[in-house]
Structure 1
């Protein structure tokens, strides 16, 4: 998408975010385009998930107002300084894809903790290539960069560590009962609240350049959005929508803190914390791995982040891959 179109759509999004009616003529004057061109941009934003409608004689209006993400506001909510850069983009294909492009660009230097957030993802992804639904203004979607000089072997347990960091950030927002589901989901009241997608660039034996993608439901009403499984959002739990900039600040700060500790000491010290948050702790579970199906009892994880399942043959370790986990 051309930079000019990005800026125009960012302007239109900012104008509509207050939830009031804005005439096509006024919007056109603000962005310096014809009303027809404005209608085309709004149509594209609608295709990407912006819930906007038009009333003859009044103009365009969002179904609900929301506060736009703002990098400076996010930084103001943080209580520690770091050299990492926080960027907010109005529209991206996916925040993970954006960071992977930056990694591939050898002229662009990235620092641990650099973060990219997006208001709109046109092709957000979850695990195994699934689409990640992120309603405009109703979610927090971002990706963070972190490098591991010792390579892939020093990243074992990373997705679990990220889950711990998110749960601890949510506690500071008044959400005390979020839980983790191995290997990369956050649940609340046995419904999915957030997902984690970790992707790695680099050669075996060299520095692993890691992209940590997070999608968190802020306002995604279950009766309005079908995401393919039971889900919940923070607005339903807290009774009102939290400030997404404050939420972003707390989650990012928690990740910075815990990733520093993880990079220095590994996942071992976080095992008891993760197990205390495990939604299926000591419960019977079923894992589907390809054509194979395993039944047993969830006995936590080891220092590598492998799931420990007690079966008739003893403890079996599972390290991820195409694994789905369900309680029964």
Structure 2
């Protein structure tokens, strides 16, 4: 992997929101203007939008609230009186993949947070749009001693917990969508990806990733092809600390009691409760009224007065407008 330390330093310098001339940057790094242009090209590839004005230099189009290890640790310690166990990697292929490749050596609860994902992914291998510093990309590792079957309903629990944190920090009506999304004003705000390694009867290594839209601008419409929303201005470092605190406690409770302990929290924030929806299962379209979830985490769909549970990785839920 190429050395990106200097492009990251350029981002840090520009994060003050001011103009910085090419001459100034060249002097700081002891390089030519052509060298500065190479750094600018790299950070533009990360999705950072820059103004380039002759006689003034470079300025960020939108301000960046950069992730900071010390700030996250301080927020976390103030809330829990404990030290967090996490790593901030500014540029990464995928936070989930990074943890999956290290599950044999990771401590339970270890988290990875990134500014930019080069190969972020969602469910069913879809690409997850991950511009630098605009959103939040976080993954956390856990072990389930009971095996993979014990993870049933976990994505729903993660959604409930994240919605709780976002509602508290932003004051907005964040809602959940079965089985792995969060919505704001009927638009997608965040997605959850739970990946599990381990065989039946063995310990399950679980990696849970979340991507949250905070201040995304002009996303690639080939990737982001549905209505989306931003959470808005929020302290990203505080958000990381709050998420880690709540998620770790929730995972302890989930290990003991499963989805049952969280079931009552789903209905009040269910974005599609009692609304006409359509399920897409492969090439099959099923219309009905969403009636919440059951103890196994299945979606309850009412059709002609009959309620049927649906569960599975290939099901997609859409409003029937």
TM-score class, shorter-chain normalisation, is over 0.9
The equivalent residue for 1:67 is 65
Shift of 1:325: 0.8
TM-score, L = length of structure 1: 0.90
Query: For residues 120-131 of structure 1, what are the structure 2 equivalents within 5 Å?
Result: 120-131=116-127
Match of 1:182 among 157, 178, 191: 178
In structure 1, distance between residues paired with 2:32 and 2:310: 58
Shift of 1:194: 0.7
Shift of 1:287: 0.3
The equivalent residue for 1:238 is none
SS in structure 2 opposite 1:144? Answer: strand
Shift of 1:184: 0.4
In structure 1, distance between residues paired with 2:63 and 2:304: 54
> How big is each residue's C-alpha offset from its partner over 1:277-317, in whole Å with a ceiling of 9 and x where there is no partner?
11111222110101222122212112221111122483322
The answer to whether the Cα contact below 8 Å between 1:84 and 1:112 also exists between their aligned partners in 2 is: no
The answer to whether the Cα contact below 8 Å between 1:134 and 1:217 also exists between their aligned partners in 2 is: no
In structure 2, distance between residues paired with 1:308 and 1:123: 34
SS in structure 1 opposite 2:280? Answer: strand
Shift of 1:84: 4.6
The equivalent residue for 1:165 is 161
TM-score, L = length of structure 2: 0.92
CA separation of 1:73 and 1:324: change in aligned 2, threshold 3 A: same
Confirm or deny that 1:113 pairs with 2:105.
no
The equivalent residue for 2:189 is 193
* Runs of 5+ consecutive residues of structure 2 not aligned to the other structure: none
Confirm or deny that 1:279 pairs with 2:253.
no
The equivalent residue for 1:154 is 150
Confirm or deny that 1:229 pairs with 2:226.
yes
CA separation of 1:145 and 1:34: change in aligned 2, threshold 3 A: farther
Shift of 1:225: 6.2
The answer to whether the Cα contact below 8 Å between 2:156 and 2:180 also exists between their aligned partners in 1 is: yes
In structure 2, distance between residues paired with 1:92 and 1:271: 35
CA separation of 1:264 and 1:31: change in aligned 2, threshold 3 A: farther
Confirm or deny that 1:317 pairs with 2:313.
no
SS in structure 1 opposite 2:102? Answer: helix
In structure 2, distance between residues paired with 1:81 and 1:35: 48
Shift of 1:248: 1.6
The equivalent residue for 1:8 is 6
Q: Which moved further from structure 2: 297-306 or 23-32? A: 23-32
In structure 2, distance between residues paired with 1:74 and 1:57: 37
The equivalent residue for 1:297 is 289
* Runs of 5+ consecutive residues of structure 1 not aligned to the other structure: 236-240
